[in-house]
Amino acid sequence: MSRSPWWQRLAPLLGLFLLCLVLSLASPHFLTVDNLLNVLRQSAINAILALGQLVVIITAGIDLSIGSVVGLTIVVLTLLMRHGVPVLLAAAVALALGTAIGLINGLLLTRLRLPHPFISTLGTLNVARGAALLLAGGVPISGLPPGFREVVAGSLLGVPMPVVIAALAYLVLHVFLSRTVYGRDLYAIGGNREAARLCGIPVDRRLNLAYALSGASAGLAAIVLAARMNSGFPLAGTGAELDAIAAVIIGGASFFGGVGTVGGTLIGALIIGFLRNGLNLLDVSAFWQMIVIGVVIVVAVWIDVLRQRVGRTA
């Protein structure tokens, strides 16, 4: 929807290249097929969550609940599978549950008219996490059917399955956001809600859809995470919403809505993934990693502010 000059759109990509260049010079282990596939695998879950977050951030919203939704759906999914429910059915239920919680987030905004999604999703964040802990009795759920892990956490033609799933999700969302009336409407709502309404766009229905999609992305991420961990840990996904928001923002989306692309978000998720991986290879402690990622978020948004300032006076 919003087309900025190419050099502006390429800024996050350039950042990713520079990062990879520096890391490959700093560590001989970085630029290997195994390591790169490893980074992709590790980034897949954050990348999927970032996709849902992108959709709501485009509408000038936010979804803080997705980490907890991952926790609740992973518990439900693994409980169902342990009780012998077929894997496909259990996965469908997990997706539906994530979508339903997302829809509730939307309805809290559009029906109850809560003033800001920060508040409504902060509420569901707590509710979903509490429900997850209650259902699981506070302990991880194990004993999943062996085939589940083999397929969902395995690989397809040498590519890790989580990466395949994330890639498909990105493709679908890209078409959704850039080629459909629904996607176009979401950008318009984020850019100017009243203008969108006066053009006949059903704003409330579209917002419900956006939050439902965000919940669905959390459900999908939960399926992948359950396979990777081969268990359902009720605290899974704690804080994951913050990494997802970081990926979206590093990827050039605007917190004020109306701006953001699937491609940018992918790059944002990869920048975070490569940064973690590179710092690990360089033996930088996890504590320092947090500091570095915090600085990257601030710098990325600062660069964005500078770009917009240049764009405005030109």
Partner 1 sequence: MTPPPPLLEVHALTKRFGAQAALADVSLTIAAGEVHALAGENGAGKSTLMAILSGALVPDAGTIRWEGRPVLLPDVRAAQALGVSAVHQEPQLVASLGVAENIALGRLPHRAGPLRLVDAGAMRAAARAALDRLGVAVPLEAPIGEIGVAQRQLVAIARALHFGARLIILDEPTSSLSLSEVEALLASLRALRQRGTALVYISHRLEELRAIADRVTVLRDGRVVATAPMAGMSNEALIQAMSGRELAADLRAGPPPAGTEPRLRVRDLARKGRLHAITLEVREGEVVGLAGLMGSGRSRALRTIFGADGRDAGTVEVRGPDGWRGVHDVAGGIAAGLGLVPEDRRGLGLVFTATVADNIGLRTPKGGHRWGLLRRGVLRAVAEAAVEILHIKTRGIDAAVRTLSGGNQQKVVLGRWLGDTRVLLLDEPTRGVDVSAKAEIHRHLRALAASGMALLVASSEIPELLALCDRILVMREGRLAGELTRAEATPAAILALATGAAAARAS
Which residues lie near partner 1 (CB under 8 A)?
1-4, 179-182, 184, 187-188, 190-192, 194-202, 254, 257-259, 313-314
| Residue 111 vs 179, nearer CB to partner 1 | 179
Using CA atoms, how far apart are residues 79 and 95, in angstroms rounded to an integer? Answer: 15
| Residue 202 vs 239, nearer CB to partner 1 | 202
Using CA atoms, how far apart are residues 203 and 209, in angstroms rounded to an integer? Answer: 10
Count the neighbouring beta carbons within 10 Å of the beta carbon of residue 234.
Answer: 25
Q: HSE of 28 in the Cβ direction (CA atoms, 13 Å)?
A: 0
In the complex, what is the shortest distance from the CB of residue 14 to partner 1, in angstroms, rounded to a whole number? Answer: 21
In the complex, what is the shortest distance from the CB of residue 311 to partner 1, in angstroms, rounded to a whole number? Answer: 8
In the complex, what is the shortest distance from the CB of residue 181 to partner 1, in angstroms, rounded to a whole number? Answer: 5
Q: HSE of 229 in the Cβ direction (CA atoms, 13 Å)?
A: 22
Give the largest CA-CA distance in the chain. 63
Using CA atoms, how far apart are residues 13 and 289, in angstroms rounded to an integer? Answer: 21
Residues paired with residue 160 on neighbouring β-strands, in sequence order = 155
Mapping DSSP to helix (H, G, I), strand (E, B) and coil, where does residue 160 land? strand
| Residue 84 vs 200, nearer CB to partner 1 | 200
In the complex, what is the shortest distance from the CB of residue 200 to partner 1, in angstroms, rounded to a whole number? Answer: 4
Mapping DSSP to helix (H, G, I), strand (E, B) and coil, where does residue 158 land? coil
Evaluate whether 124 touches 101 at the Cβ level (below 8 Å): yes
Evaluate whether 251 touches 260 at the Cβ level (below 8 Å): yes
Tracing tokens 């339903």 back to the chain, one arrives at: 100
| Residue 111 vs 156, nearer CB to partner 1 | 111
| Residue 83 vs 113, nearer CB to partner 1 | 113
In the complex, what is the shortest distance from the CB of residue 215 to partner 1, in angstroms, rounded to a whole number? Answer: 21
In the complex, what is the shortest distance from the CB of residue 186 to partner 1, in angstroms, rounded to a whole number? Answer: 11
| Residue 21 vs 199, nearer CB to partner 1 | 199
How far lies 130's CA from each of 65, 66, 134, in Å? Answer: 12, 14, 6
Tokens (6 digits) for 232: 């359902």
In the complex, what is the shortest distance from the CB of residue 5 to partner 1, in angstroms, rounded to a whole number? Answer: 10
| Residue 5 vs 239, nearer CB to partner 1 | 5
Using CA atoms, how far apart are residues 61 and 223, in angstroms rounded to an integer? Answer: 25
